[in-house]
Amino acid sequence: LALVESSPYFEALLAGAFAEGKSSSVVVRSEFPEHVERALHFLYVQFVEILNMSDAIEMLACALEMQLHSLALFCGQYLMECE
């Protein structure tokens, strides 16, 4: 439920007519697979440890890919504070 409420991407995937919505498990494909687990964890705790600027940029790209707006804002704040 948290995924559906947090992202239009997951809403379409899980609550829409796609086969994933009827499955007990879903495989999330991403250009940034190393960040997917951390991005999903962020939805539950509203925090993610960002290691450096490069990590923040990749995490931001992952957030945008999955339409996780709260994570994108979090990463954007980190990047603004780094300057």
- Cα 38 to Cα 36: distance, rounded to the nearest angstrom: 5
pTM: 0.82
How far CA 42 is from CA of 22, 74, 78, in Å, comes to 25, 10, 14
The reported pLDDT for the residue numbered 22 is 65
User: 6-61 pLDDT, tens per residue?
Assistant: 888 888 777 766 655 566 677 788 899 999 999 999 989 999 999 999 999 999 99
Residue pair 59/27 in contact by the 8 Å Cβ criterion:
no
- Cα 42 to Cα 36: distance, rounded to the nearest angstrom: 10
Q: Which helix (H) or strand (E) holds 75?
A: helix 69-82
